[in-house]
Amino acid sequence: MRQAIELNENWIFVKHAENVTEAATVQGEEISLPHTWNAVDGQDGGNDYYRGTCWYRRMLESPQLNAGQKVYLEFDGAAMTADVYLNGEKLARHEGGYSRFRVNVTEKLRTGTNELAVSVDNADNDHVYPQKADFTFYGGLYRMVRLVIVPEVHFSMDYYGGDGIRVTPEVTLADGNREHAQAKITVEIWADGGAERVTVTAADQTKQAAVADGYAKAEFELSDVHLWDGVEDPYLYTAKAELASGDVVETRFGCRCFHVDPQKGFFLNGRAYPLRGVSRHQDRAGVGNALTSAMHQEDMEIIKEIGANTLRLAHYQHAQEFYDLCDENGLIVWAEIPYITLHMPNGRENTLSQMQELVVQNYNHPSIVCWGLSNEITASGGVTEDLLENHRLLNDLCHRLDASRFTTMADVFMLEMDSPVLEIPDVNSYNLYFGWYLGELEQNDAFFDEYHAKYPDRCIGFSEYGADANPQYQSAEPDKGDYTESYQAVFHEHILQMIEKRPWLWATHVWNLFDFAADGRDEGGKNGQNQKGLVTMDRKLKKDAFYLYKAYWNRKEPFVHLCGRRYTDRTEAETEVKMYSNQPEVTLFVDGKKRETMQGSHVFRFKVPISGTHRIEAQTGVCRDFITVRKAEEKNMDYVFGQADGVVNWFDKDDFKPGYFSIQDTMGALQSHPQAGALIGKLTESASAARGDVAQSVKDNPNLQKMMMGMTLEGMLKQVRDMVTPEQVKALNDALQQIKKPEQTK
């Protein structure tokens, strides 16, 4: 039998040491794993978190070994580059902060006590991904470490951190019917040390197989297979392999079949199964990425509450135990490597090794259906032949290692739809932020409709979309860029309706389920955080938009949620009371009196006059929720980000004469009219003079030009608000308001 000895206690952390000798003598700090040295400075903003080489050391008792036994050190994650020393001698280096790796120490262990030292580095470099991205690159031994002792004849421990057992289920649905499915299960094993025979058990059937050159295969037929059927029924089987030496490996697996159709989207076990879910980073307030099992489990409970059926585990390989939780709870997973934002000519080898480790170590998870090659990788340097070749090699590697899954990639919004890189992965997906970073919400709809019309035979997904929201900020007139919880809810209401009308989107993933650390950010009143989460980074507060998705996706737990609980002081005489519910009927009570019952779906809006302090209550069935609102004379400026300079309200709604041009028209509409076009022509010339680089990239990129035409002039002006004064905007709008729009031809 193999034996594992956990090595998570009694470590000494040494922040500064020039070499292993110095690291062995410096005082250091006693710590236990998991650990990161950026738990605090990686989350407090300023982009000044410590990036460099730190050391971990501990004493290591040599275990009593029987003849021929082998001993490995096993690391579940060391970010980002680790050098492993034993008794002062460097034994191994591993480049990649998110995957498991092992070091054979059999011949190096001394009898009695040994000195184990690990240098871990998260500094800038030009070849280990990630190097440029919107999240904190925490450094440390942030997952577990253990000693693994195996018999002389053992399942392979030396192949990209794999377990030496691989299970490939091939499901056949009898006439497309999920009820009567068969499956062929192929169990492959790799063994070292001269194994001759292996006993393999799968789904309670047992077979013997001869081992030739360290490899064996056993095949099983399941006539009436219990399918792994997503969140409805994530049934798991177990496969086990045993050698005469006593070494045993086990793995769970799930029987399912899936495919993506360009017109109909994702299918699971023969039926349409639109993937609708969220993304997750592996970090949390106060602990960085040094997550405990309880934290992983809590995240999964929140995911089950919202009712997602898919997860994009961005932007790197996540912990084994989290993929296990996805298997157990039926989440369909997009797994990926951190080949992100900036393509590095010296980084090709690292993308290939990180992808090989991701696939080899996670092959048996039924939850994983695809391998993500990259994320927004053209954002910093466009599409080069080296980047294309890097993608071809990754794509081929995935197919060679795993014929059972498809490849994908997440594209940045300005990547031209006809770019050759889009032809490499099996399916594509775009990250769009219209209605947040730029443009209007409707441009998300237009983008996908255009892509789908242009490429009807290509599968397309929506890999990222979101809007930052600080729950402190509230508004009765939410607007793009105001960082209010109110706008985030409006943003997602639009996107959800957009998605509902496009079942051919094979997968959609909210960016992000949780706020996460991006130490380079300082926005929305929280330094160091990306606040696009539907839940705060400490997992303590679910924003209104969380309940919107719960209303659409959670079909198990009836509920009603009143929005705006943090919007207490309201200046409007008649206020909107909005509820989210997964029930068809809700009732509103004001100050204890029943006011109105409404039928509908997901979103329920009421208008309520307010004049004092009111108790607002929602009810559906036995579910209730209530908030308090107060009529206020003055706007509560605590609700406003940046004392209103974050939001530009040049005009009130009734400042615009209908039938005449205004800054609320799109650039395309304005430019198509000679007079209006001439007026804004001057503006765009001065803007491009000031922002030559941006203007040039727009000129060079027809996709961006097209997007700009879909933006309103007001939206454009907000993007360059530091370049125009309110007076200039007013004057421009006055001039446009003199120009009558041509009669709309019927």
Residues known to be catalytic: 376
Pick from 43, 354, 530, 587 the residue near ligand GCU by CB under 6 A. Answer: 530
Instruction: Kindly write down the DSSP assignment for every residue of 274-303, as one continuous string.
Output: -EEEEEE-S-BTTTBT---HHHHHHHHHHH
Query: Taking the alpha carbons of 523, 526, 531, 534 in that order, is the dihedral positive or negative?
Result: negative
Say how far apart CA 264 and CA 267 lie, in whole Å: 8
Q: Which is nearest to 100 in space by CA: 289, 353, 283, 405?
A: 353
DSSP 212: B
- 296 burial type by CB count under 10 A (0-12 exposed, 13-18 middle, 19+ buried): middle
Pick from 229, 299, 411, 464 the residue near ligand GCU by CB under 6 A. Answer: 464
Pick from 49, 511, 514, 639 the residue near ligand GCU by CB under 6 A. Answer: 511
Phi, psi dihedral angles at 417 (to 5 degrees):
-65, -20
Closer residue to ligand GCU (CB): 503 or 520: 520
Phi, psi dihedral angles at 99 (to 5 degrees):
-120, 160
Query: Taking the alpha carbons of 566, 569, 571, 576 in that order, is the dihedral positive or negative?
Result: positive
Residue 519 found at the interface with ligand GCU (CB under 6 A): no
Tell me how far, at minimum, the Cβ of 117 lies from ligand GCU, in Å: 34
Residue 251 found at the interface with ligand GCU (CB under 6 A): no
Closer residue to ligand GCU (CB): 414 or 603: 414
Residue 282 found at the interface with ligand GCU (CB under 6 A): no
Tell me how far, at minimum, the Cβ of 336 lies from ligand GCU, in Å: 11
DSSP 699: H
Residue 544 found at the interface with ligand GCU (CB under 6 A): no
Tell me how far, at minimum, the Cβ of 279 lies from ligand GCU, in Å: 8
298's CB contacts (< 8 A; 6+ apart) are: 539
Size of the site for ligand GCU (CB under 6 A): 10
Say how far apart CA 257 and CA 188 lie, in whole Å: 19
Say how far apart CA 206 and CA 239 lie, in whole Å: 10
Residue 375 found at the interface with ligand GCU (CB under 6 A): yes
Closer residue to ligand GCU (CB): 2 or 315: 315
Contact 73, 127 (CB under 8 A): no
Site for ligand GCU in 298-317 (CB under 6 A): 315
Tell me how far, at minimum, the Cβ of 137 lies from ligand GCU, in Å: 12
Closer residue to ligand GCU (CB): 200 or 342: 342
Residue 336 found at the interface with ligand GCU (CB under 6 A): no
Say how far apart CA 641 and CA 648 lie, in whole Å: 11
Tokens 């007076």 belong to 727
Residue 532 found at the interface with ligand GCU (CB under 6 A): yes
Task: Print the binding letters for residues 170-209 with ligand GCU: x by CB under 6 A, - otherwise.
Answer: ----------------------------------------
Closer residue to ligand GCU (CB): 437 or 626: 437
Tell me how far, at minimum, the Cβ of 512 lies from ligand GCU, in Å: 7
Closer residue to ligand GCU (CB): 242 or 376: 376
Closer residue to ligand GCU (CB): 359 or 518: 518
Contact 33, 145 (CB under 8 A): yes
Say how far apart CA 583 and CA 559 lie, in whole Å: 7
Site for ligand GCU in 120-149 (CB under 6 A): 133-134
| Residue sitting closest to ligand GCU (CB) | 134
Closer residue to ligand GCU (CB): 134 or 440: 134
Residue 376 found at the interface with ligand GCU (CB under 6 A): yes
The partner residues of 660 in beta bridges, in order of sequence, read 740
Q: Is 458 helix (H, G, I), strand (E, B) or coil?
A: coil
Tell me how far, at minimum, the Cβ of 519 lies from ligand GCU, in Å: 12
Tell me how far, at minimum, the Cβ of 464 lies from ligand GCU, in Å: 5
Tell me how far, at minimum, the Cβ of 516 lies from ligand GCU, in Å: 8
258's CB contacts (< 8 A; 6+ apart) are: 266, 267, 268, 269, 273, 332, 369
Q: Is 485 helix (H, G, I), strand (E, B) or coil?
A: helix
Residue 431 found at the interface with ligand GCU (CB under 6 A): yes
Tell me how far, at minimum, the Cβ of 466 lies from ligand GCU, in Å: 6
- Measure the N-to-C terminal CA separation of the chain; round to a whole number of Å: 81
Residue 12 found at the interface with ligand GCU (CB under 6 A): no
Closer residue to ligand GCU (CB): 508 or 587: 508
Burial 714-724 (b: 16+ CB within 10 A, else e): bbbbbbebeeb
Binding site for ligand GCU (CB under 6 A): 133-134, 315, 375-376, 431, 464, 511, 530, 532
